[in-house]
Structure 1
Amino acid sequence: MKFLLLLLFSLSASHAADEPGFKNGYPDNDTVTQVRNDQVFQRAVQAYRFWYPTVSAEGIFNGFRDLGVNDNEAIGYLQASPIGLAFTANMDTPYAVAALDVKDGAMVVELPPGAFIGLANDHHQNWIQDMGIPGPDAGKGGKHLILPPNYKGEIPADYHVGRATSNKVLIALRAIPQNGNMKEAMEMITRVKIYPFSTSANPKLLRFVNLTSRKMDGTLLKWENNMEFWNKLHKVIDEEPILQEFQPMYGFLSGLGIEKGKKFAPDNKMRSLLEQAAKEGRRQMLVSAFANWRPDRIVWKDRRWEWVGLVSENGNFMTQSGLDLEARDRWFSQAIIASPAMFRRTEGAGSLYWLGLRDDKGEYLDGGKTYKLSVPMPVPAKLFWSVTVYDNETRSLIQTDQNNAALRSLVELKNSPTMGTVDVYFGPKQIAGKEGKWIKTIPGKGWFAYFRIYGPGDAAFKGTWRPGDFEEVKTTDQTASNP
């Protein structure tokens, strides 16, 4: 009995003993300071990751505004090339991009009949609606009406309606080049009409500005690891309405001094913590992109290809369990704009994206090595397919003196055999005899590739058709580095 009493006393005394940094159960000043700093830092990292798509969208808007393509005034259109920075943009089709402000009224996007692929996203890159082939007009043409947030008025007939959840709306359109005719596709995209709904009787059209030959940075690269990330985020939060579904994350921001309608004036300590959080947040986003651990990222067990989009069927990364934050992080750390058509894994869906990061041995792709990729023919693509190379630091088209980052079924590979296998190459020097089937890479720099199929056939999803892996080629039979 005496032993039991001693044991109980010992346990109670042990339980009552202070933890390091606490006295009589209360934290000391050093502990308070450390914990508060840790809380701010941790919450800031989570806020960074959640609001990354929002600041990325501002980067897109900013890139076009810098070239005079202002909101509700103009549409920038271009044939994308490596001279511009844009997260995993492709060279397959011309783009038309417009920033619309629907705060003062609805806007109309009018498509003529034709092979268009398009969408509308809000300022947070939430999906609003698809247009063209993957949309309700199915390529037959039609008028798409984008309503302001919380619109309560009458909705006119004969429009495909999308409800914006922000004042600023991103419109991204592409025209598919028939038989690889990019010039014709560029002309085709200028037939699109965008105008305020209030001017429908006599449309006040946004003008087109050709940006093909102009350098542009449509990313947040210059902001993503420093204090400017938070300044840009505060700007957007202040300009846009509050989204009910984002309420908990606005709470994270208020603890960092970012609130709608209030000045953002962090002191030196807060600035230091926010800058550290931006750097750490970026690191975590890139791990999600390039070293993801989820088993559902793997397309086939006997290949190294990965799904870029980990969520299918939903353009806003919602699942039955809630918002898939990891899938959202992975996508927006390397890509821009989202739509259900991008993620759908059914035959004839808008598009399919596979990510190539590693060679057949599991090693990251190295710009100083030469690789071969074998593509069985025919590729199950109702529209077209391509392989595109990106710089893994900028997540943009790789920039070399070749000035080409893609091998496309409509362009470089349009005369490929319809049966058998087509081998394409990637490396710092061109292999003799492989002209038109090679993309230049940069020694000392990593790279990754997207394999895209537009209008994918069922074989691409069932695995009865699949490309090979990147295989390193040991060869000394190489010409000068210029193509």
Structure 2
Amino acid sequence: MKQFAVATLSALTLAVAFSAQADGVPLEQAKLHGDETIQTPVGDIELQDSYFNDDASKRLFDEMDYQRASQAYIWSTPLVSITAWRNNQGKAYGVTKDTDFVVLESLKEKRGIVTGNLTTPYIFNFISLKDGPIEIKYPAGKTAGGVLDFWQRPIFDLGLTGPDKGQGATYVLVGPGQDPAKFKKDGVNVYQSETNNVFIGLRILESDPGYFDKFAKQYQMGRVGKPLAASRFIKSKDVEWSATAPRGIEYWKLLSDILNEEPVRPIDKAWTAMLAPLGIEKGKPFEPNERQKTALLKGAAMGELMTRNLQVNPRYVDVYWPGTSWYKSFDFQTEQETKDRAQIDERATWFYEAVSSTKGMLNPQPGSGQVYMTTKRDSEGRLLRADKNYKLHVPKDVPVAQFWALTLYSENTRRPYDNGGTDIRSANLDSHLKDLKQNADGSIDLYIGPKAPAGFEKNHMKTVGDDGWFVYFRLYAPTQPFFDKSFKLPDFERLD
């Protein structure tokens, strides 16, 4: 009987071992040699003498390319976003010259910009340095802005936070491969871009409504060595348009197009190597086959989900005010890298949710620059919903030398929220509005949701359907209580 029991136990042990081998070992336990069946996300991979068959090879390549596409989406977000912006804005506004500027003033116009501010006019230009360096004669006055390369990194600021400090100056901008030293002379600020394409963005901060016309007449721009001329400022179009990066194959088409316009930086060579098997290669047309299209479609969708997760749950940074869900939205180096690494996740978070970067945005000093605070959760840590009503209590004496603004955005498009409103305040409430209802102590309660509470209609922004939302609370020229955190915004309180 004892011998029978031992034999039975041995047989059972062998059967269990055989069954485990037949079912395959988990990937993390694989020996990766000899004869082995390995469980993987792409099905079992059977090794025989350490080799696998053609079917397994195909599945591994498909998974490899899908994973690369997912990560390439995160890496390429700032580049594709600004390219979509340039292309769509140019079409919507009839841009014909590289010195044309587009002026966005109305709600409909500003609703095209990814997390655009709704309180001051925007003035935008895109120009290529491939045809030679450009010279800018910049007027004096209260303005804020900057010149960015196409990775959305600041090359230099303009206006109050720039070298001219609002006094006006002459700038020369040269492209990659050009020698900046050739253009240096007294009274000229010379900078170099690492990309051919550059962006010039401005905001007028002067209170005088007539200042724009003065600025437009005084601003001059053109190729170095040729006569400078006034730019055309295209305004009052009031058109609907979108700068949100496309989804699906069109995303990759834009990436392929812009890579063919730009030199490849050393820091990006590993990424371009990973894109080549996907049909995206410098100097070649974008003509992916069906297998590549599948990987790209899956990668674009998963890449956006991963990027949105970073946007909602940024795991590399803590909340700004302990005990709340408020983050400082731009919380990384404008160079997008440190001594040891590229800040790929950090920049993807910002450039999925927003556009552009300047030193004034990243490094505001007390009494100058801007701060962008954002949240996606309420006081109980729940994600904000379009079908619920919320209150934000804004304490009195918000620490700003200029003004503050609360702007409502769509999570789907990351552009100003479209709730059917036709005026700016339907998606933006700020301290310039004299009819906001205040509390007795000078604080203000602002409301977001499907329905305004009675008596607080002026303090309300409407949400609709299932269009999820988030906000930016902007502090223009923040003062010391923001920096030492003696001022603190509470979380949104859900009312139902």
The two structures share one fold, judged by TM-score above 0.5: yes
Find 1:72's aligned residue among 81, 95, 98: 98
Does residue 170 of structure 2 align to residue 170 of structure 1?
no
State the alpha-carbon separation in 1 of the partners of residues 280 and 236 from structure 2: 35
Residue 50 and residue 263 in structure 1: after superposition, are their counterparts in 2 closer, same or farther (change >3 A)?
same
| Partner secondary structure for residue 403 of structure 2 | strand
How far is 1:91 from its partner? 0.5
Where do 1:350-429 residues align within 5 Å? 350-403=369-422, 404-411=426-433, 420-429=442-451
Where do 1:26-425 residues align within 5 Å? 26-66=51-91, 67-82=93-108, 84-152=111-179, 153-178=182-207, 183-184=209-210, 186-187=212-213, 190-191=216-217, 193-198=219-224, 202-211=227-236, 213-220=238-245, 223=246, 225-294=247-316, 296-311=317-332, 314-344=333-363, 346-403=365-422, 404-411=426-433, 420-425=442-447
| Partner secondary structure for residue 231 of structure 1 | helix
| Partner secondary structure for residue 190 of structure 2 | strand
Contact 2:221 2:230 in 1 (8 A): yes
Contact 1:377 1:417 in 2 (8 A): no
| Partner secondary structure for residue 481 of structure 2 | helix
String of CA shifts for 1:303-353, please: whole Å, max 9, x gaps. 221121231xx2122224321221111111100111232122642351111
Regions of 4+ moved over 6 Å: 413-419
Letter in 1 for 2:88: G
Contact 1:405 1:439 in 2 (8 A): yes
- TM value normalised by structure 1: 0.87
State the alpha-carbon separation in 2 of the partners of residues 431 and 15 from structure 1: 64
Letter in 1 for 2:320: V
Residue 80 and residue 117 in structure 1: after superposition, are their counterparts in 2 closer, same or farther (change >3 A)?
farther
Residue 147 and residue 17 in structure 1: after superposition, are their counterparts in 2 closer, same or farther (change >3 A)?
closer
Residue 186 and residue 406 in structure 1: after superposition, are their counterparts in 2 closer, same or farther (change >3 A)?
farther
String of CA shifts for 1:135-157, please: whole Å, max 9, x gaps. 11111222222212222133233
Letter in 1 for 2:165: A
How far is 1:163 from its partner? 1.1
| Partner secondary structure for residue 41 of structure 1 | helix
State the alpha-carbon separation in 2 of the partners of residues 90 and 189 from structure 1: 21
% identical aligned pairs: 27
State the alpha-carbon separation in 2 of the partners of residues 402 and 59 from structure 1: 25
Letter in 2 for 1:63: N
Worse overlay, 356-365 or 79-88: 79-88
Residue 464 and residue 16 in structure 1: after superposition, are their counterparts in 2 closer, same or farther (change >3 A)?
closer
Contiguous gaps of at least 5 residues in structure 1: 1-13, 475-483
State the alpha-carbon separation in 2 of the partners of residues 367 and 347 from structure 1: 35
CA RMSD between the two structures: 2.3
Letter in 1 for 2:336: F
Contact 1:366 1:443 in 2 (8 A): no
String of CA shifts for 1:111-145, please: whole Å, max 9, x gaps. 32211110111122122111111111111222222
Letter in 2 for 1:143: T
How far is 1:226 from its partner? 0.7
State the alpha-carbon separation in 2 of the partners of residues 94 and 189 from structure 1: 13
| Partner secondary structure for residue 472 of structure 2 | strand
State the alpha-carbon separation in 1 of the partners of residues 235 and 68 from structure 2: 42
Letter in 1 for 2:408: V
- TM value normalised by structure 2: 0.85
| Partner secondary structure for residue 240 of structure 2 | coil
Worse overlay, 412-421 or 387-396: 412-421
Contact 2:172 2:183 in 1 (8 A): no
Letter in 1 for 2:427: A
Greater Rg by CA: 2
Aligned residue pair count: 451
State the alpha-carbon separation in 2 of the partners of residues 136 and 280 from structure 1: 42
Contact 2:259 2:282 in 1 (8 A): yes
Where do 1:14-25 residues align within 5 Å? 17-20=34-37, 21-25=46-50
Aligned match of 1:6: none
How far is 1:454 from its partner? 1.4
| Partner secondary structure for residue 64 of structure 2 | helix
